[in-house]
Amino acid sequence: MRRRYPKLDAYAEDIAQEAFVRVAHHWDHLAAPRAYVTKVACNLAVDHLRSRTFEGLC
């Protein structure tokens, strides 16, 4: 996908970074940080897809 859709990689990197930043603030207090990161990343991805149109993607 990197060659055909470079914008998707940028979106994915932004979402992953935001998920880790959000989790970092609560890391010491989480029982399952890995699960929390996954849930936050999924929610951010869904929010992104709802709010954006992939203009210029193809």
Give the residue extent of every domain in the chain: 6-51
Percent of the chain at pLDDT > 70 equals 78
Residue 1 has a pLDDT of 41
Q: Is the pLDDT of residue 13 over 80?
A: yes
Catalogue the long-range contacts made by 47-52 (C-beta closer than 8 Å, 24 or more residues apart): 48/11, 48/15, 52/11
| Range of lowest pLDDT (14-23, 31-40, 45-54) | 45-54
